[in-house]
Copies of this chain bind each other. A is one copy, B any other.
Amino acid sequence: MATIGDVAREAGVARSTVSAVLTGRKLVLPETRQRVEDAIAKLNFSVNAGARALATSRTMAIGAVVRFHEAEFSPALATYLVALSDAATEQGYSVQLLTERDGVGAVHRAIAGRRVDGLVLFNVVEDDPRLEPITTAGFPAVLLGMPRETRGVDAVDLDFAVGARLLVDHLADSGHREVTFVRWPDSLYAAGATYALRFADAVRQRVAGHGMKLEELACPVGPEQVRAVLGERLRRADAPHALLVHNDAAAAMLPFALHDVDVKTPGGPSVVSLHSSELARLYALPFTSVESEPDAVVRAAVELVINRIADPGLPVARRLVAPHIVERGGVSRSAAS
């Protein structure tokens, strides 16, 4: 492997001159620059990332702290990871995977070993224990998720409250006066999943604001079980006219469940849903929906963490990405009072 010294010799300049054209920090005579660039090309030189990291104390790497093992149902993770890597690469950063079960330990080691310049925390929950090592070290990081208290750490997420309002309004506008909120199991809210909590709160407020009647149906996340739960509810005499779904498993299985039962409502119940865009793609979900915005969310996260790396003194940022509703039909005008 060629080093900066080889390039300098080849171009007949000092090593620091090569470094100057590499970093672009200093002005170099165009002619000299050209000679250096020719030498670089000729020797197929590429700066040694580790050496640069040591000299600059910048690794140009971001760590993605993932808690996959706890996720029961997340086909979307790859989308986020790849989008993160793409966004980071654009900014000259690489992404390192930190997947250890012990998230706190992983964060600790990443910070202590100076393996990365900043962290992106996936799957953030309320009172996330991974915040502790970050705040004590004052390490650049951004949360994917929006807990009430971020303790001085930047955070970005889809605006689930706005998503909830869009969907409730859509049902209300279609004349519905009652809505069955097919949601995640209680355990998920208890675990502090920030997106689920924000969505549910907004649904309740908005439904009340419209003077509508709200029924909540907590669903498990196992495909089989969710199908059974949905089927049981749909079969009852007072079958719902409008379903508002926030539970990826339920969204995926709902078409099955509707098939399973002999739906009494003409054309079936109206269904609106908030789910990951990945899910919509995989299952070709036919509902009017608000989808996650992985690219926008991840792009914002990269921007925030890079800014934070550059200037730790920046004010704390809480960024909500605006969702939009995609109308796919599936909502019938209701005559039900």
Residues of A participating in the B interface, judged by any CB pair closer than 8 Å? 1, 44-51, 53-54, 59, 61, 64, 66, 68-69, 73-75, 77-78, 81-82, 84-86, 89, 94-100, 109, 112-115, 222-224, 227, 252, 255-256, 259, 278, 282-284
Please give 15 more A-B residue pairs, beta carbons under 8 A apart, in addition to A54-B54, A84-B97.
Answer: A45-B112, A47-B113, A49-B115, A50-B51, A50-B59, A69-B82, A75-B75, A78-B81, A89-B99, A94-B98, A95-B97, A96-B96, A222-B284, A255-B256, A256-B259
Q: Are A109 and B46 in contact (CB under 8 A)?
A: yes
Residue pair B115, A94 in contact (C-beta under 8 Å): yes
Q: Cβ of B1 and Cβ of A75 under 8 Å apart? A: no
Are A282 and B82 in contact (CB-based, < 8 A)?
no
Chain B residue numbers with a CB within 8 Å of A95 are: 96-97
Copy count, this protein chain:
2
Chain B proximity of A316: nearest CB distance (Å): 24
Q: A282–B252 contact, CB under 8 A?
A: yes
The residue in chain B whose Cβ has the minimal distance to the Cβ of A111 is B46
Q: Which B residues are in CB contact (< 8 Å) with A64?
A: 97
Residues of B within 8 A of A73 (CB): 282
Partner of A68, one of B54, B61, B78: B78
Given A95-B97, A97-B94, A112–B82 Cβ distance below 8 Å? no
